[in-house]
Amino acid sequence: MYLAGGGEVLLAPMVMKMERGREPDLQVILPESKQRIKETLVAGAADLVVEIISPDSIKRDKEVKFAEYERGGVHEYWVLDPLEHETFFYVRGEDGKFQRHYSDADGIYQSVVLKRLRLKVDLLWREPLLRGPEIEALVREMLK
């Protein structure tokens, strides 16, 4: 799936191979990183990764993958927790560590990786909850 400007949005089960293989729920590869996309995997870190927590993945997404994605060079990492209706946005700092970012007073999160993406965070928690393909469509719509 292509983004405006030439990037790509990839959904699981596309593997992102860093220190180990992971299948993020959604990953965005910017045009300057497209050489990482191979036939069956992304060789290296995606520019933006989104993980949607399930009851069995809380520790894995919030701690294990957080540390792997930070070490591996992911630029922006979103953790969506439908269990608690929480969103966690992390952006890689100059020191290589993830720093927490927040939505503004109007509840809008401005992506650092996707400069034109302004996400009304409440949209993520509408009923019924969004799924991977719906989130992908929402991202595409916001980037038009």
Question: What is the structure's pLDDT at 4?
Answer: 52
- Closest to 141 (Cα-Cα) out of 126, 120, 113, 112: 120
- Domain annotation covers residue 2: no
The rounded Cα 70 to chain-centroid distance in angstroms is: 13
Q: Is position 91 within any domain?
A: yes
> Is residue 1, in this structure, part of any structural domain at all?
no
Residue 76 to residue 28: CA distance in whole angstroms: 10
What are the structure tokens assigned to 80, written together?
A: 């969506």
Domain membership of residue 48 (yes or no) is yes
- Rounded Cα distance between 66 and 84, Å, is 18
| 12-33 pLDDT, tens digit each | 899 999 989 999 999 999 999 9
| 79 contacts 61 by C-beta, under 8 angstroms | yes
Note the helical H segments in 19-115: 58-59, 65-72
Q: Is 80 exposed, middle or buried (0-12, 13-18, 19+ CB in 10 A)?
A: buried
The answer, as to whether pTM is greater than 0.85, is: yes
What CATH number is attached to the domain comprising 31?
Answer: 3.90.1570.10
- Give the range of the structural domain holding residue 115, as residue numbers without chain letter: 8-142
**Does 83 map to a domain?**
yes
**3 found inside a domain:** no
User: Which residues does the chain have with pLDDT short of 50?
Assistant: none
The tally of domains found in the chain comes to 1
